[in-house]
Amino acid sequence: MDPTLVAWIGRTDIRAITEPEAVGLGPIAQAVTTYDFARIRLLSNYPEDESSNYVHWLGQRASAAIDLHHAELTSPTDFGEIYHAAVSAVTDLADSKTGLPDLWFHLSPGTPAMAAVWILLSKTRFPATLIESSKEQGAKVVNFPFDISVEFIPDLLRNSDDRLERLSAGLPPEAPEFEHIIHRSRIMKDLVARARRVAPRSVSVLIEGESGTGKELVARAIHRSSSRRDKPFIPVNCGAIPAELVESELFGHKRGAFTGALSDHVGVFERGKGGTLFLDEVGELPPSAQVKFLRVLQEGTFIPVGDERERKVDVRVIAATNRPLLAEVSAGRFREDLFYRLAVAVLQIPPLRERPGDLSLLIDHFLKIINEDGSSEPGFERKKLSPNARNVLLQRMFTFFPKGGSTCWVHNINALRDVQSTSS
């Protein structure tokens, strides 16, 4: 696979244009004249004209394709900002079929914080060859004889006070109903905080997120945290019900209402009385069912198929969809008035690729489950992961889903079962 160089543009590189006698070629130019790279990606927090000028200068000395990734940093020593910029630049290099290229990270350009992040990334998410260069010794490969199993380094450097965060958000000290939502990323903390605020109220909730992001898990947590916790929670996959049976499944039917209706059938709205009805893939509802659904939300009443008697119902609706419902409204496939009845509160669940730090936590969670499930089996040996094995698993997860697809809840637990138990 053709090697790809990724590096921050440093001040010495910029000076190489006008002060070659003092600094020589600079770290990056030294590397590209020493090694044969197929592609060069440069990150820069310098002004765009200054960065572009350097790319043009370097292009006269390198045969590889060069692209510039501009990064807005409030400080060139902010680990969090540097980490996110570096991950974004490397992620964009992934090909949907072949994954990431042969990565080379340059440690010399930029600040020490930038170099530290390259080292950490090369030992965790993005295995890479590390190089350094100097005016006196030129460019050379660097080997670090240690392994670091960390997915999101800034978590180790940030001293946050979770108690103050809870108080400032107006939340209770603990939320045991949400303990099954495994997370530590900021984006998921914000989502859980919003879900906790809306849970005590009986308003409708619309949950959006890719398939597998845990929409039902969040819906169940909201139900358990509400005053309806002792009443039924009924999940319904609207996309799995044949179109001709949707109204019967939702609202019930009377005997003889249609061919095959041999007895009365109680629909989920009636079975969920006093509780919560979770309608997954609500965008799949046919137009006729949408009309009757709207009436339930507006009036709290419905009529079973083949019946004439109106019935009252007290049920909270939590709907979910794997595609933006507003787009379905614009396309004319979903009623606008029904959308606004459902979207009293909207929760958007991010996929795992947008949740820095959560993947390692989920690996630990599922590893614990594997050990608990297998502990009673004869000859079972407790599974554990070495730093190397954990890094391989993190890299495999990222390679399989570099840009698209949903990896939020790591459904493929077999990936962990197949990892060889090791302590070295």
Assess if residue 261 is contained within a domain.
yes
Q: How far is CA 177 from CA 8, 195, 358, 378, in A?
A: 44, 11, 19, 35
Percent of the chain with pLDDT over 70: 85
**CATH number of the domain bearing residue 57:** 3.40.50.10770
Same domain, 225 and 342: yes
Q: What is the pLDDT of residues 82-118, one digit of tens each?
A: 999 999 999 988 887 778 899 999 999 999 999 989 9
**Structure token digits, residue 137:** 């010794």
What is the per-residue pLDDT for 278? Answer: 96
Percent of the chain with pLDDT over 90: 46
Last residue within a domain, chosen from 124, 150, 176: 150
Same domain, 341 and 218: yes
What's the pTM?
A: 0.61
Same domain, 184 and 298: yes
- Name the 3-class secondary structure at 343: coil
Same domain, 340 and 366: no
Q: Could you count the other beta carbons within 10 Å of the beta carbon of residue 301? A: 12
Assess if residue 16 is contained within a domain.
yes
Same domain, 71 and 16: yes
Contact 200, 223 (CB under 8 A): no
Instruction: Look up residue 99 and give its DSSP letter.
Output: B
Assess if residue 423 is contained within a domain.
no
Positive or negative, the Cα torsion across 96, 98, 100, 101? negative
Contact 294, 338 (CB under 8 A): yes
Counted domains in the chain: 3
What is the per-residue pLDDT for 59? Answer: 93
Q: What is the pLDDT of residues 370-400, one digit of tens each?
A: 888 888 888 888 888 777 777 777 766 655 4
Q: How far is CA 16 from CA 28, 64, 76, 93, 222, in A?
A: 10, 19, 20, 27, 59
What is the per-residue pLDDT for 156? Answer: 42
List 129's β-bridge partners, or say none.
Answer: 104
Same domain, 126 and 225: no
Same domain, 341 and 364: no
Instruction: Look up residue 135 and give its DSSP letter.
Output: T
What is the per-residue pLDDT for 250? Answer: 92
**CATH number of the domain bearing residue 291:** 3.40.50.300
Q: What is the pLDDT of residues 153-165, one digit of tens each?
A: 444 444 444 444 4
Same domain, 338 and 189: yes
Same domain, 313 and 229: yes
Average pLDDT, the chain: 83
Pairwise CA distance, residues 338 & 334, whole Å: 8
**Structure token digits, residue 355:** 């949740």
Backbone angles phi and psi of 266, in degrees to 5: -90, 125
Assess if residue 378 is contained within a domain.
yes
Last residue within a domain, chosen from 126, 150, 174: 150
**Structure token digits, residue 28:** 């990056």
What is the per-residue pLDDT for 262? Answer: 83
Hey, which bits of 92-241 come out as E strands?
102-106, 129-134, 138-142, 205-208, 233-237
Domain that residue 403 falls in: 354-417
* Whether pLDDT at 54 is above 90: yes
Assess if residue 338 is contained within a domain.
yes
Same domain, 364 and 295: no
Assess if residue 394 is contained within a domain.
yes
Same domain, 110 and 190: no
Same domain, 299 and 385: no
Assess if residue 424 is contained within a domain.
no
Last residue within a domain, chosen from 150, 182, 205: 150
Assess if residue 216 is contained within a domain.
yes
